[in-house]
A and B are shown apart, each in its own frame.
Chain A
Amino acid sequence: MHKSLVLAVAFVCLVSCSSKQTVSASGPTPSANRKLAADFSLKDENGATVKLSDYRGKVVLLNFWATWCGPCGLEIPWFIDFEQKYKSQGFAVLGVSMDDDGWPAVKPYVAERKINYRILMGNDSVAQFYGGVDALPMSFVIDKEGKVAATHKGLIGKNEYANEIQCLLGDKPLDSAASTSANAACPAK
């Protein structure tokens, strides 16, 4: 019992030693291993109700963010690019704001940064569906069947997202140079 407790404490310490807690998929998860993304119903800035299931058939980048989150702000220009570049191919970014101050804080930010994708106001319930979202940014790349193909906790590179999106859109095989995965091929759908 004592040895078990020592091991448990050692494990906790080992995990806590790393301040970089990026949970990054090495390329999209193989299709057979993907789990369905939890559906939700949230309001956008016009008051319209938006469900994740409305986007079935499209590749979705679901991004949890906040106006006070510096790294989140760095990703936003990339997501603006993706929305512009891939929208016609069946892609959409959904930005879920976790700002406690609500739309009064978020609307000016969205306008200043000329965000061209849909912003939704998040809540704790939806955050719980996605593992609690204890840190931001937290992003999920969702395939056309509504399944989570990749999960990213913290800031990653633009190319990593681009490769995953292109892979799921069926554009091209995953770029092995941008992937740390031993399997560089785009997982079969």
Chain B
Amino acid sequence: MILLLALAPTLLAQQNKVNIAPSDPLTVKRGESAKQVLKAVILDGFHVNSDKPKDDYLIPLKLTWAAGPLEAKAISYPKPEELELNGSHMLVYTGTVPIETEFAVAKDAPKGPNAIIGRLKYQACNSNMCFQPKTLDVKVSVVIE
């Protein structure tokens, strides 16, 4: 118990500020397109930069997908909030952030269960400090018919 108490501050500092909500499996047809919505859930009290922050030095929220049986054709981010913090106006996300990807399914994609693999990069802050940028691995189950 003493060890747990001693480690608590470190563990909390290393806690992910963003988590990916579980996704329902995606059922798609060969040769067609499909949409998938990934939900990034931001811990209460924190915000992440939007996909297009105002300052070039800020690290944007960015979802990327690995090559596979489904090809990502377009990724749409929601409209950000404008946050005034310490005199600066920023474009950020808080709460749950739905990110939609439109995929094209190859005509010769192998039928059956599969998966699409992605990565979500973010950089989180609260009202007076910022945390190292992080990248989360994303995996969505897919059934190709």
* Pairing of A with B: yes
Q: How many chain A residues have a CB neighbour from B under 8 Å?
A: 34
CA distance A155 to B129 in the complex (A): 6
| Known A12-B12, A19-B44, A74-B87; contact A136-B130, beta-carbon cutoff 8 A | yes
Segment touching B, from A43-51, A65-73, A160-168, A170-178 = A65-73
Return the CB mask of B86-102 against A: 1 if under 8 Å, else 0.
11101000000000000
Query: Does B57 contact A67, Cβ atoms closer than 8 Å?
Result: yes
Q: Chain A residues near B55 (CB, 8 Å)?
A: 70
Chain A residues, Cβ within 8 Å of B129: 21-22, 71, 135-137, 153-155
Q: Please, which residues of chain B bring their CB within 8 A of the CB of A21?
A: 13, 126, 129
The reply to whether A69 and B130 form a contact with Cβ atoms under 8 Å apart is: yes
Given contacts A136-B130, A137-B129, contact A70 B58 (CB under 8 A): yes
A68 contacts which chain B residues (CB < 8 A)?
A: 57-59, 123, 130, 133
Q: Give the interface size class of chain B.
A: 20 to 34
Known: A135-B131, A155-B86. A16 touches B57 (CB 8 A): no
- Contact at B13–A70, with CB atoms within 8 Å? no
Residue of B nearest to A5 (CB): B1
Q: Whole-angstrom distance between the alpha carbons of A68 and B46 in the complex?
A: 16
Task: Convert A112-147 into 0s and 1s, putting 1 for each residue whose CB lies closer than 8 angstroms to a CB of B.
Answer: 000000000000000000001011110000000000
Tell me the smallest distance from the CB of A4 to a CB of chain B, in Å.
Answer: 5
Scoring B88, B90, B132 by chain A CB atoms within 10 A of each residue's CB, the highest score goes to: B132
- Whether A22 lies near B128 (C-beta < 8 A) is yes
Closest chain-B Cβ to A139's Cβ sits at a distance in Å of 11
Is B133 touching A16 in the complex (CB atoms < 8 A)? no
Interchain CA distance A100-B123 in the complex, whole Å = 13
Is A98 located at the chain interface by the 8 A CB criterion? yes
Chain B residues with CB under 8 Å of A137's CB are 129
A8, CB-defined interface residue at 8 Å: yes
Interfacial chain B residues near A155, Cβ < 8 Å: 86, 128-129
- Kindly state whether residue A85 has any CB partner on chain B within 8 Å: no
Q: Which chain A positions have C-beta within 8 A of B127?
A: 19-20
Neighbouring A residues of B58 by C-beta, 8 Å: 68, 70
The 10 closest A-B pairs by CB, nearest first: A19-B45, A154-B129, A155-B128, A154-B128, A134-B13, A69-B130, A135-B129, A67-B57, A4-B1, A19-B126
A-B contact pairs, 17 of them (CB 8 A): A8-B8, A12-B4, A15-B8, A15-B12, A22-B129, A66-B130, A68-B123, A68-B133, A71-B129, A71-B130, A74-B87, A74-B88, A100-B133, A105-B57, A135-B131, A136-B129, A155-B128
Binding site for A on B (CB under 8 A): 1, 4-5, 8-15, 44-46, 55, 57-59, 85-88, 90, 123, 125-133
Residues of A that sit less than 8 Å from B by CB? 4-5, 7-8, 11-12, 15-16, 19-22, 66-74, 98, 100, 105, 109, 132, 134-137, 153-156
Question: 15 additional contacts, CB 8 Å, given A12-B8, A16-B15, A135-B13?
Answer: A5-B1, A8-B5, A15-B8, A15-B9, A68-B130, A69-B130, A70-B55, A70-B85, A70-B125, A74-B86, A134-B132, A135-B130, A154-B129, A155-B86, A156-B128
